[in-house]
Amino acid sequence: MGDHHHGPAKGLSRWLYTTNHKDIGTMYLWFSFAMFLLGGAFAMVIRAELFQPGMQLVEPGFFNQMTTLHGLVMVFGAIMPSFVGLANWLIPMMIGAPDMALPRMNNWSFWILPPAFLMLASTLLMEGGAPAFGWTFYAPLSTTYAPPSVTFFIFAIHILGVSSIMGSINIIATVMNMRAPGMTYMKMPLFVWTWLITAFLLVAVMPVLAGAVTMMLMDIHFGTSFFSAAGGGDPVLFQHIFWFFGHPEVYIIILPAFGVISQIIPAFSRKPLFGYASMVYATAGIAFLSFIVWAHHMYTVGMPVAGELFFMYATMLIAVPTGVKVFNWVTTMWRGAMTFETPMLFSIGFLVLFTIGGFTGLMLSIAPADFQYHDTYFVVAHFHYVMVAGAVFSMTAAVYFWLPKWTGRMYNETMGKVHFWVSFIGFNVTFFPQHFVGLAGMPRRIPDYALQFADFNMMSSIGAFIYGMSQLLFLYNVIAAIVSGEKVSDEKVWDGAEGLEWTLPSPAPYHTFETPPKLEEQPAY
Which residues are identified as catalytic? 70, 99, 135, 163-164, 247, 249, 251, 262, 296-297, 322, 325, 444
Asked if 348 interacts with another protein (CB under 8 A), we say: yes
Could you give the angle at the alpha carbon of 393 between the alpha carbons of 317 and 174, nearest 5°?
75
Q: Map the footprint of another protein across residues 290-329, applying CB under 8 A.
A: 300-302, 305, 308-309, 312-313, 316-317, 319-320, 323-324, 326-327
Q: Which is closer to another protein, CB of 81 or CB of 336? A: 336
Stretch touching another protein by CB under 8 A, among 50-58, 405-413, 485-493, 507-515: 50-58
Please report how close the Cβ of residue 2 comes to another protein at its closest, in angstroms.
39
* CA–CA separation, 368 and 379 (whole Å): 15
Find residue 410's DSSP bridge partners.
486
Please report how close the Cβ of residue 26 comes to another protein at its closest, in angstroms.
32
Asked if 184 interacts with another protein (CB under 8 A), we say: no
Contact 445/137 with Cβ under 8 angstroms?
no
- Tell me the site size for another protein, rule CB under 8 A: 96
Contacts of 256 (CB under 8 A, 6+ apart): 83, 86, 87, 191, 194, 195, 198, 394
Stretch touching another protein by CB under 8 A, among 53-61, 112-120, 173-181, 380-388: 53-61
Q: One-letter amino acid identity for 7? A: G
Q: How far is CA 257 from the centre of its chain?
A: 8
Q: Which is closer to another protein, CB of 247 or CB of 374? A: 374
Contacts of 480 (CB under 8 A, 6+ apart): 411, 412
Asked if 351 interacts with another protein (CB under 8 A), we say: yes
Q: One-letter amino acid identity for 489? A: S
Asked if 49 interacts with another protein (CB under 8 A), we say: no
Asked if 376 interacts with another protein (CB under 8 A), we say: yes
How buried is 235 (Cβ within 10 angstroms: 0-12 exposed, 13-18 middle, 19+ buried)?
Answer: middle
Please report how close the Cβ of residue 139 comes to another protein at its closest, in angstroms.
8
Which of 41, 124, 366, 425 binds another protein (CB under 8 A)? It is 366
Asked if 445 interacts with another protein (CB under 8 A), we say: yes
Please report how close the Cβ of residue 312 comes to another protein at its closest, in angstroms.
7
Please report how close the Cβ of residue 123 comes to another protein at its closest, in angstroms.
16
Which of 102, 132, 190, 202 binds another protein (CB under 8 A)? It is 132
Q: Which is closer to another protein, CB of 180 or CB of 356? A: 356
* CA–CA separation, 348 and 3 (whole Å): 44
Q: Map the footprint of another protein across residues 448-477, applying CB under 8 A.
A: 448-452, 455-456
Q: Map the footprint of another protein across residues 221-280, applying CB under 8 A.
A: 228-230, 234-236, 269-278
Phi, psi of 480 (to 5 degrees): -60, -40
Which of 280, 356, 464, 478 binds another protein (CB under 8 A)? It is 356
How buried is 16 (Cβ within 10 angstroms: 0-12 exposed, 13-18 middle, 19+ buried)?
Answer: exposed
Phi, psi of 453 (to 5 degrees): -95, 0
Asked if 340 interacts with another protein (CB under 8 A), we say: yes
Q: Which is closer to another protein, CB of 118 or CB of 229? A: 229
Contact 516/181 with Cβ under 8 angstroms?
yes
3-class DSSP state for residue 487?
A: strand
**Dihedral angle computed from the Cα positions of residues 231, 235, 238 and 244, in that order, rounded to the nearest 10 degrees:** -130
Please report how close the Cβ of residue 145 comes to another protein at its closest, in angstroms.
5
Cα-based distances in Å from 334 to 119, 259, 330 = 49, 19, 6
Contact 44/465 with Cβ under 8 angstroms?
yes
Please report how close the Cβ of residue 167 comes to another protein at its closest, in angstroms.
30
User: Mapped to the 3 state alphabet, what secondary structure does 398-441 carry?
Assistant: HHHHHHHHHHCEECCHHHHHHHHHHHHHHHHHHHHHHHHHHHHC
Q: Which is closer to another protein, CB of 16 or CB of 320? A: 320
| Count of Cβ atoms closer than 10 Å to residue 25 Cβ | 24
Please report how close the Cβ of residue 428 comes to another protein at its closest, in angstroms.
8
Please report how close the Cβ of residue 72 comes to another protein at its closest, in angstroms.
14
Which of 17, 185, 288, 359 binds another protein (CB under 8 A)? It is 359
Which of 336, 349, 357, 404 binds another protein (CB under 8 A)? It is 336
Q: One-letter amino acid identity for 87? A: A
3-class DSSP state for residue 500?
A: helix
Stretch touching another protein by CB under 8 A, among 21-29, 256-264, 434-442, 504-512: 434-442
3-class DSSP state for residue 324?
A: helix
Which of 13, 177, 372, 414 binds another protein (CB under 8 A)? It is 372
Which of 90, 204, 333, 395 binds another protein (CB under 8 A)? It is 333
**Do the strands 409-410 and 486-487 form a parallel or antiparallel pair, or are they unpaired?**
antiparallel
Q: Which is closer to another protein, CB of 8 or CB of 54? A: 54
